[in-house]
Structure 1
Amino acid sequence: MTQISALCIYCGASQNVDPRHLEKAGELGRVTAEKSIDLVYGGGHSGMMGAAADGALSAGGRVIGIIPEHLRAREAAHTGVTEMVVVDSMHVRKQMMFERADAFCILPGGLGTLDETFEIITWKQLGLHDKPVILLNLFGFWEPLLEMVQRQIDGGYLHEDPAYLFSLADDIEGVFTAIASAAAAKVKPDSSRL
């Protein structure tokens, strides 16, 4: 059984998305705070990022935003978070988000979300960490990705079923069930190898 103190979320910053996704992001933030788990995220004020942060803050949670200087104005950094860390690059942002979190939850998002998702799953595949990674499959959003993974398996590009690399949750409670049922992390990440 895994217990965590900080959950990193990867998600989109666009406001022009399914309102149900925004609502669920807010719910995830709120539930995270209610479970006394810190929320680590990309630092934005809008879209699912902002909704999750606002949800956690509304429930008295601790929210840590990590944003690169070049995105601080563009993504409108959230001014109400508990801690805002401004870094000099996307690479440093992703590294710091990784270091500050005990588990990862991927919500719907765009190319940046996919970049973060593939990186954290690949690091796990390479044995650089064994922290829980959960895809929150809101209203079937991640089904095409799962189909692509199956094509990779069928085509011989993945030598084994990558089910051990990530879990799938269809709702908010499923995220925390998946985290709780994950094996306790044994790999001590060496950040110099990442």
Structure 2
Amino acid sequence: MTTAASSTTSLFSVCVYCGSRAGGAPNYEAAATAFGRALADEGWRLVYGAGDVGLMGAVARAAQSAGALTFGVIPTHLLPKEVGKRDLTTFVITENMHERKKVMFMNSDAIVVLPGGAGSLDEFFEVLTWKQIGLHDKPIFLLSTDGYWKPLEGLIEHIISEGFAPMSTSSYFETVETVEELVAALRAVRG
């Protein structure tokens, strides 16, 4: 595990966690597509779960078609279910989910969480916990399209208010509402 982002290199890599489903609102997929294009426009590399379905597929196809480098990581057992996108710049197959998450994390400078389900929550809480205990200092952003992550923010505030996490926990991530805000925030940490 690394303790700092590798932004000393010229390539800035953004790890995107998001749903393997499109979700119930068209704005989720529209935001994923817009963010994929934005990654290419900024010259940043997409690091993600290598699927070609749901929001994962939308962000990857948009990034790829706009010219971004793409780095996908998928465990063997999800190749058929998530339709492993083998035409990426880099396509990595891992033995399990733990290895997938580690490879994605190690190859990124910042983490972005788009709308998603249990898997996205698992990924978010893992990097949040790692940050809380000092294992890394990479920025973490929630893209709360149409307020999607408001219940999660409420849960985290509840955890803090009930004494199960320090007040600082809510400072370990930043929530943004639009792709434009997200790009601006990433530019700020990129420097």
| TM-score, normalised with respect to structure 2 | 0.90
Quote the residue 2:162 is aligned against.
155
- Cα deviation for residue 119 of structure 1 reads 0.1
Comparing 48-57 with 75-84, which one deviates more in the overlay?
75-84
- Cα deviation for residue 58 of structure 1 reads 1.3
Aligned match of 2:80 in 73, 88, 92?
Answer: 73
- Cα deviation for residue 16 of structure 1 reads 4.8
Matched, 1:104 2:111: yes
Aligned match of 1:127 in 128, 134, 155?
Answer: 134
Query: Residue type of the partner of 1:165?
Result: Y
Q: Percent of counterpart pairs with the same letter?
A: 38
CA distance in 2 between counterparts of 1:7 and 1:17 reads 25
Quote the residue 2:175 is aligned against.
168
Confirm or deny: 8 A CA contact 2:22 2:28 kept in the other structure: no
Query: Residue type of the partner of 1:176?
Result: V
Quote the residue 1:9 is aligned against.
16
Superposed CA offset, 1:12-70 (max 9, x none): 01145322101110110110011000000001001000000011011111111100001
Quote the residue 1:32 is aligned against.
39
CA distance in 2 between counterparts of 1:37 and 1:15 reads 23
Quote the residue 2:99 is aligned against.
92
CA distance in 2 between counterparts of 1:16 and 1:105 reads 17
Determine helix, strand or coil for the equivalent of 2:152: helix
Confirm or deny: 8 A CA contact 2:141 2:175 kept in the other structure: yes
Aligned match of 1:52 in 50, 59, 68?
Answer: 59
Superposed CA offset, 1:157-191 (max 9, x none): 1221423200111111211222333498xxxxxxx
Determine helix, strand or coil for the equivalent of 1:180: helix
Query: Residue type of the partner of 2:16?
Result: I
CA distance in 2 between counterparts of 1:154 and 1:8 reads 30
Change in 2 beyond 3 A, CA 1:104/1:37? same
Quote the residue 1:146 is aligned against.
153
Query: Residue type of the partner of 2:128?
Result: I
CA distance in 2 between counterparts of 1:181 and 1:83 reads 27
Query: Residue type of the partner of 1:147?
Result: G
Confirm or deny: 8 A CA contact 2:44 2:68 kept in the other structure: yes
Unaligned runs of 5+ in 2: none
Quote the residue 1:187 is aligned against.
none
Determine helix, strand or coil for the equivalent of 1:30: helix
CA RMSD in angstroms, aligned pairs only:
1.7
